Amino acid sequence: MGSQDKALRERAAKVIPGGMYGHQATGLLPDDYPQFFAKAEGAHLWDTDGRRYLDFMCAYGPNLFGYANPEIDAAYVRQLSIGDAMTGPSPKMVELAEVFVGMIGHADWAMFCKNGTDATSMAMMAARAQTGRKTIVLAKGAYHGAAPWCTPRPAGTTKEDKANQVYCSYNDIESLEAAVAKAGDDLAAIFAAPFRHDAFIDQALPDPAYAKRARELCDQHGALLVVDDVRAGLRMARDCSWSLTGVEPDLSTWGKCIANGHPISALLGSDRARKGAAAIYATGSFWFAGAAMAAGLETLRLVRETVYLERIVSLGEKLRTGLAHRAAKAGFGFRQSGPAQMPLFLFDDDPDLRKGFCWSSAMLERGVYVHPWHNMFLCAAMTEADIDFALDAAEASFGVLEREAGGLAPVEKMAFLRG
């Protein structure tokens, strides 16, 4: 840990509970990972001690076209000077809804909000209002946000917060059918991640038969299908991620990169969910602000007009192939799961992640920020040379791991994974 980062942590420990909170707290990362960053540009981050990293987290998703993208930020700043948070929305809101709906196959309408959790909460409420029913089917372990009804940590929640929820296993048709049967005549919606991107375990692409069955079950039971595309949206397709499975949801949730990191999220829906969506009361002080909408319009233009998607897939495949080759050469069982542009890396026989932590720290030391247990994200600002740089770092890091593997200490803070 650098001295500046250490000093900031000491100050933070006084004025922020636990020193940091939420998904950007580094408590479950190797000790040498910086908590704070001083600067970001394109595909790179600088920590407060001046060290530069090629960043494979992309702000946990928001960075799709490069940090401080000049075109997108210019659109934001331009609208800021015209009108951002006002007493009513700007015309940009209508324009963004039209453009976004025009790009997403299943969508007839859009509502904008700030957090991914806002969008998933609204999807749940809209489905309940539309159907007059309560029960939601969700996959065990899937992350749909951090409100009391969905937060993965029980502290401060009550059992009523998660009432009217039934769980299935992702990609397991029988468990999905059993969950739907359990919901009986009260099924309001089936929630689905576009692929399994839970932390700590291998990712899994959606089985098209599972997606199709979810659609059928919703249709048979008069329920709504929700695809939570907050994390993966626009990195899998220029449409809803499940368009790749041929299945259209009734509701989809969006956030993260839809304005390349400017704060805006969205619920999109079909006419089958419009009445429910119109009935709910959901709002926020900054939801109607124009600047993030202007940035969203510019981001969506780049989505339509550039080869960003082909680029991140191609760079992701180059990275995946190169890593597989280097891991095999070094003799490690190194599992790369999920889409190449949103990879997750896990080592075989690594129950408390001691290998993953050692390798990730070695990567960090070589200027490449990878995550040892969360899926990562590629962005369109990355280059072939960046991937070569990462692969060189990986080769050296596998070497470090080879030398140290025999004597690695247990990672006590990850011991919960063993249980």
Judged by CB under 8 A, the chain residues 27 through 56 that form the site for a second copy are 34-40, 45, 48, 55
- Does 142 bind a second copy (CB under 8 A)? Our answer is no
Question: Applying CB under 8 A, which of residues 84, 198, 239, 250 lies at the interface with a second copy?
Answer: 84
User: Given candidates 262, 326, 354, 366, which one binds a second copy under the rule CB under 8 A?
Assistant: 262
Q: Are strands 109-113 and 265-269 parallel, antiparallel or unpaired?
A: antiparallel
Among 1, 20, 103, 408, binds a second copy (CB under 8 A): 20
Query: For a second copy, which is the closer residue by CB, 243 or 253?
Result: 253
Residues 186-215 touching a second copy, rule: CB under 8 A, are none
- Tell me, residue by residue from 349 to 378, as one string, x for binding to a second copy by CB under 8 A and - for no binding: --------------------x---------
Among 42, 43, 54, 61, indicate the residue that binds a second copy (CB under 8 A): 61
Among 3, 160, 305, 418, binds a second copy (CB under 8 A): 160
Q: How far is the CB of 197 from a second copy (least distance, A)?
A: 14
Site for a second copy in 393-412 (CB under 8 A): none
Rule CB under 8 A: choose which of 3, 155, 407, 419 binds a second copy: 155
**For every residue of the chain, which 3-state class applies, written as one string?**
CCHHHHHHHHHHHHHCHHHCCHHHCCCCCCCCCCCCEEEEEECEEEECCCCEEEECCHHHCCCCCCECCHHHHHHHHHHHHHCCCCCCCCHHHHHHHHHHHHHCCCCCEEEEECCHHHHHHHHHHHHHHHHCCCEEEEECCCCCCCCCCCCCCCCCCCHHHHCCEEEECCCCHHHHHHHHHHHHHHEEEEEECCCECCCCCCCECCCHHHHHHHHHHHHHHCCEEEEECCCCCCCCCCCCHHHHHCCCCCEEEECCCCCCCCCCEEEEECHHHHHHHHHCCCCCCCCCCHHHHHHHHHHHHHHHHCCHHHHHHHHHHHHHHHHHHHHHHHCCCEEEECCCCCCEEEECCCCCCHHHHHHHHHHHHCCEECCCCCCCCCCCCCCHHHHHHHHHHHHHHHHHHHHHHHHCCCCHHHHHHHC
Residue 195 near residue 245, CB atoms below 8 Å: no
Do 195 and 203 touch, CB atoms closer than 8 A?
yes
Residue placing its CB nearer to a second copy in the complex, 29 or 391: 29
230 interacts with a second copy by CB under 8 A? yes
Using CB under 8 A as the binding rule, whether residue 71 contacts a second copy is answered as no
Stretch that binds a second copy, among 153-161, 221-229, 300-308, 330-338 (CB under 8 A): 153-161
Q: Which of residues 269-288 bind a second copy (CB under 8 A)?
A: 269, 274-288
Interacting stretch for a second copy, rule CB under 8 A, among 59-67, 328-336, 339-347, 394-402? 59-67
Which lies closer to a second copy via its Cβ, residue 39 or residue 140? 39
**C-beta separation of 401 from 372 below 8 A:** no
The nearer residue to a second copy, 16 or 307, going by C-beta atoms, is 16
Our CB check for a second copy shows the closer of 11 and 329 to be 11
Quote the least distance from Cβ 180 to a second copy, whole Å. 19
State in angstroms the smallest separation of the CB of 40 from a second copy. Answer: 4
Q: Which is nearer to a second copy, 229 or 332 (CB)?
A: 229
Q: Among 30, 43, 63, 229, which residue interacts with a second copy (rule: CB under 8 A)?
A: 63
List 31, 50, 52, 86, residue binding a second copy (CB under 8 A): 86
Q: Give me the 102-131 binding string for a second copy, x by CB under 8 A, dash otherwise.
A: ------xxxx--xxxxx--x--xxxxxx--
* CB 309 within 8 Å of CB 378: no
Task: Check residue 292 for interaction with a second copy (CB under 8 A).
Answer: yes
For a second copy (CB under 8 A), the number of binding residues is 111
Q: Give the orientation angle of helix 290-305 with respect to helix 91-103, to 10 degrees.
A: 30
